[in-house]
């Protein structure tokens, strides 16, 4: 039994490391998709019962970047956070908050800058982009509340230089309660402009 448990733990770590590599090197954002691709490589079934958690994969991403991208990752992260700062200045009328991997510090060259905006109607954000002649694409994102309910938010994507910016629009009251993080299920961390500028000034990862 102990030997089987050890093999399962080894496979769990291997799957977490492969999923982390896929997310770090190929820009996969969806943890579930990364797990499935990792399982396909190792020829194991999702029903096997030893898939890694999102937290384990997130930790493995950090380890991967420290080992394989130590020379490039700090500069890349700073570049993404600088782009986030500029995008937040663009959207300063909508109380922008930075979320996701750029805030957490595990973003890489394929990562998007993810923002949450707050407006009475999504059309205000659309008009803001149109007035500035910024080409964008419309999409929709699903979020889970910490109570387990799902909600959908309109999102607008555009490119600044070679960095993709995605801005999801929530109602004004939603600024008080973050959706659940896909990593650990806790309220998603958000940073306002002053906090992002403090991160840049300190050089924190």
* 130-172 residue pLDDT tens: 999 999 999 999 999 877 889 999 999 999 999 999 999 999 9
Q: What is the CA radius of gyration of the chain?
A: 18
DSSP-assigned beta bridge partners for residue 157: 137, 166
Residues in the chain: 205
Cα distance between residue 71 and residue 149, in whole Å: 41
Q: At what angle do helices 31-42 and 2-26 cross, to 10 degrees?
A: 120
Q: What is the pLDDT of residues 176-202, one digit of tens each?
A: 999 999 888 899 999 999 999 999 998
For residues 114 and 100, the answer to whether their CB atoms sit within 8 Å is yes
For 170, the 3-state DSSP assignment is strand
For residues 114 and 98, the answer to whether their CB atoms sit within 8 Å is yes
For 147, the 3-state DSSP assignment is coil
| pTM for this predicted structure | 0.84
């Amino acid at each position: 039994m102990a030997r089987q448990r050890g093999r399962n733990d080894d496979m769990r770590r291997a799957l977490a490391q492969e999923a982390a590599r896929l997310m770090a090197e190929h820009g996969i954002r969806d943890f579930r998709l990364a797990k499935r691709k990792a399982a396909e490589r190792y020829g194991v079934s999702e029903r096997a019962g030893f898939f890694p958690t999102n937290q384990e994969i997130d930790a493995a991403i950090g380890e991967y970047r420290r080992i394989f991208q130590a020379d490039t990752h700090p500069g890349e992260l700073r570049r993404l956070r600088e782009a986030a700062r500029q995008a937040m200045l663009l959207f300063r009328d909508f109380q922008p908050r930075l979320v996701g991997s750029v805030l957490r510090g595990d973003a890489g060259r394929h990562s998007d800058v993810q923002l949450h905006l707050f407006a009475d109607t999504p059309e205000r954000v659309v008009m803001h982009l149109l007035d500035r002649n910024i080409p964008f694409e419309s999409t929709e994102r699903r979020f889970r509340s910490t109570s387990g309910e799902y909600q959908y938010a309109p999102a607008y994507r555009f490119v600044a230089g070679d960095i993709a910016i995605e801005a999801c629009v929530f109602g004004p009251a939603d600024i008080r309660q973050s959706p659940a993080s896909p990593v650990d299920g806790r309220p998603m961390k958000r940073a306002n402009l002053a906090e992002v500028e403090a991160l840049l000034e300190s050089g924190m990862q």
